[in-house]
Every structure is written in C-alpha cells, then in structure tokens.
Amino acid sequence: MRILLTSWAWATHMYHMVPLGWAFCAAGHEVRVASQPALVEAIRSTGLTAVAVGEDVDFLSARARDRVQPVDQLPPPGSVPDYRRMWRNTTTRITDLADAMAPDLTDFCRAWRPDLVVWDWMTFGGPIAARLTGVPSARFLYGPDLLTRLGRAAEEADPGGRDRWLSDLYGRFGAEPGGAGAEWGGTALLDTCPPSAQLPGVDGLRMRYIPYNGPAEAPRWTVEPPRRPRVCVTMGLLTRNLRNQDSVLLPELLRELSGADAEVVVAGTPAQRAELTDLPANARFAELVPLHALLGGCSAIVHQGGAGTAMSAAYYGVPQVVAAAIADQPFNAERFAHTGAVVPVPAVAGSEGAVRAAVDEVLTKPQYPAAARALRDEVMAQPSPAAAVEALREAVR
C-alpha cells in the first residue's frame, strides 16, 4: 500500500505520527509525509520521506491575535474554558491551513495515488484531498479530542452550526464531508489517547502512544539513578511564544522550586537557556534533551499542559503538575486530571507557590505515583503501531 501521512507545519504535531509511519515502513508499505515547506527538514530528520505541499502560514502571529484573554483572567483549574470562543479561533486556523495546503495536496494525491491518507486533526487538507481523489482517510488523535469538544459547544450555541462549518470547509474545494461523527469527514479515527483521559463518546481504532520528540542525543546522566527525586520542568515552545507577560515565567518558577528536596531538570531550548541567568543549586538545564530520553528517570514533571507532554508523561508513568494557560492546555489538564495522575495549578504570575505545593504533594503522597502507574498500564495495553497498521488496513478495505 501507499500511505500518505499529512500534518501542517508544526513539528510536534508531525512527531506524534512518526512511530505510525515507521510501522507502515516496517510492514513493507510506501510512506510519504506531506506538509508545508517549513516542515520538510524536520520530516527528513525522522528518516521518513518528505513531500512539500502548499504554502507556509504564519501561525504564531495569527494565534497571538486570537489570544485576547489575559492569562490572569483564565478560569481557575478545573473550571470550564470558553469553548465557544475557542471553536471560532480554532476553525479559523483550520480553514487557513486548508486554504494553504488542500489544492497542492490534492494534486499530489492525484499524481501519487495513495491507498490511505492519515491526517493530523488540524490538517483538513488531508481528508479534503482524500475525498476529491476517492481515497479513504483516517483522522489521527494524539491526545484528548479538543475539536469534538469544541464542536459540541458550537452545537449547544447554534444547533447545526458544526455541520454547516464542516460542509462549508469541504465545499470551498468542491468536496463533501460525507458522514460527520468523530471522523470529521474522514473514513476512520485512529486514537492514541488513553480511554480514561479521552472525551466521552469518542470511539475509534486504538493505538499505543509512542513518545517521539525529534532527533537528539541523550546525555549519560539521564540513565544514572538520581540521588534525589528528579523533577522535570518544561513550559513548551508554544507557551513561550504566545504567553502573556503575566503568565508563569520559568525563572520565577525555578526560584520557587529551589527549596524543594528534588533534582530539578529544565528541558528546553538554547533560547530558553539564555533567559535563565542563574540556575538554583538543585537544578540543571537539559538543552535539547528529548522528553523520551529524560522522563524514564523522573519522579514528577511540571509542564504547560501540551497534549504531547502529557501523553509522554503518561507513557512513562510520571505524575504531572500542570500550569495550563493557552490553546488546548486547560482542556488537556482537565481531561488528564480525571486519571488522578495530574494536579492542575494556576498559570499566573504570583502563583508559583501553588506549583511548589503541588510538586511536594505528588512527591510525598503515594496515590499520585500509583495513579501514574495505572495510567501507564492503560497506555501500554493499547495496540502497538504494528497492530494499528493492520487494523487500519482492515478498516479501509
């Protein structure tokens, strides 16, 4: 079979699909990964074959315009985000990406003639091209299904609004979405999120989440047992680029954790390292060390609530403290809190004491490691990528 994976040009979205791409290759199938030009080098670095389609979109600038709500006005942890507003912003970005990718992606499908298109949940150029060329497609989820949650909120506010938007989106390119449901116009759904963290009512084919955070080198110390509990801290690139100035800042957070009886490891980029003039005595900076090389030796992680980070921590059975601020982060924190392995905390400046208290709690109370181990068991019980390859073949025959 010829398999086309497609994601818009945000590396972390594509990285989640890489183990599936490898599994298809190992099973003897031809695989291509299509994205906008900005992602081609990242795709090449995975060992998969890249195809450049469409035009790049300045996502960060567009996303920054959407973010009109100050971080200190966000609902407190555990409360309900403004899903209707998020629906408007998210569907605008999805439409922008489809406009940039769908025509060229359709041309590539007509030329290469794939047997299956697997598409990142934001990359609707994938199912549109599949519909226009008569190819089955599978929507790929790597965390709780935010789009379906937003669609439900849209339906509550405007019955029929979700399906009208979907029909209009496909109609821009002369296509029809077909049936709605969790596939959003695709033929099937492939879900890597553990059921206990997934949105109720989201049902599809299942695959075990395999962390992949890009090419990197793992320092020797990552496999040496720490003398004290190791706590990973990462606030993510999206949060760094889009945060408000009053959001939790990494230097303040590290000062708060400087008194913790723990080895604090900050996972980040050179740009983030440059912002840290002083590291506490109990902290070290792990520059460009991937989470999949780091989390196996950690007793806890403090992060921003990105789905990939939460899923990686779930895979390694690590309790999580989540300071969610923007985009899908509050939704992810809320869903993973259902597992008992995640403690949500406020994400505003001046609330760093809450982070320290939560870290102390997950390090000292046994229910959090127990819940994290149970979540890992749930992740490991899902079908392997190799099994998912066979399930997809059967589903789209």
For 13-43, how does the pLDDT look when each residue is reduced to its tens digit (9 = 90+)?
A: 999 999 999 999 999 999 999 999 999 999 9
The reply to whether 306 falls in a domain is yes
Q: Rounded distance, CA 126 to CA 107, Å?
A: 12
Please, is 249 exposed, middle or buried when counting C-beta atoms within 10 Å of its C-beta (0-12, 13-18, 19+)? middle
Say yes or no: 78 and 158 in one domain: yes
Least confident interval from 77-81, 152-156, 180-184, 294-298: 77-81
The reply to whether 214 falls in a domain is no
pLDDT of residue 246: 36
Q: Tally Cβ neighbours within 10 Å of residue 231.
A: 26
The reply to whether 198 falls in a domain is yes
Say yes or no: 110 and 159 in one domain: yes
pLDDT of residue 57: 87
Say yes or no: 227 and 191 in one domain: no
Identify the band that residue 245 occupies on the pLDDT scale cut at 50, 70 and 90.
very low
Say yes or no: 159 and 229 in one domain: no
Query: For the segment 219-244, what is each residue's pLDDT rounded down to a tens digit?
Result: 999 999 999 999 999 986 555 544 44
311 to 223, 227, 286, 376: CA distances (angstroms)? 21, 26, 20, 10
The reply to whether 215 falls in a domain is no
Q: Rounded distance, CA 315 to CA 23, Å?
A: 18
Say yes or no: 268 and 258 in one domain: yes
Number of domains composing the chain:
2
The reply to whether 192 falls in a domain is yes
Half-sphere exposure of 57 (CA within 13 A, CB side): 22
Closest CA to 188 of 13, 388, 349: 388
The reply to whether 112 falls in a domain is yes
Say yes or no: 173 and 228 in one domain: no
Q: Rounded distance, CA 14 to CA 6, Å?
A: 8
The reply to whether 322 falls in a domain is yes
pLDDT of residue 78: 46
Say yes or no: 39 and 179 in one domain: yes
CATH of the domain at 301: 3.40.50.2000
* Mean pLDDT, all residues of the chain: 90
Question: What Rg do the C-alpha atoms of the chain give, in angstroms?
Answer: 21
What are the residues whose beta carbons fall under 8 Å from the beta carbon of 196, sequence distance 6 or more? 338, 339, 375, 378
Say yes or no: 248 and 259 in one domain: yes
Say yes or no: 388 and 302 in one domain: no
Cβ atoms of 191 and 148 closer than 8 Å = no
Say yes or no: 168 and 301 in one domain: no
Sheet with 230-234, strands from edge to edge, namely: 283-287, 263-268, 230-234, 300-303, 320-322, 342-344
Least confident interval from 24-28, 194-198, 235-239, 250-254: 235-239
pLDDT of residue 122: 97
Identify the band that residue 181 occupies on the pLDDT scale cut at 50, 70 and 90.
low
Residue 185 belongs to what domain range?
2-209+382-395
Of 203 and 60, more confident: 203
Least confident interval from 132-141, 283-292, 314-323, 380-389: 283-292
Say yes or no: 70 and 103 in one domain: yes
| Residues forming beta bridges with residue 247, ordered by sequence position | 348
Looking up tokens 């450049």 gives 52
Tokens at residue 175, please? Answer: 């296509």
Query: For the segment 115-151, what is each residue's pLDDT rounded down to a tens digit?
Result: 999 999 999 999 999 999 999 999 999 999 999 999 9
Say yes or no: 253 and 165 in one domain: no
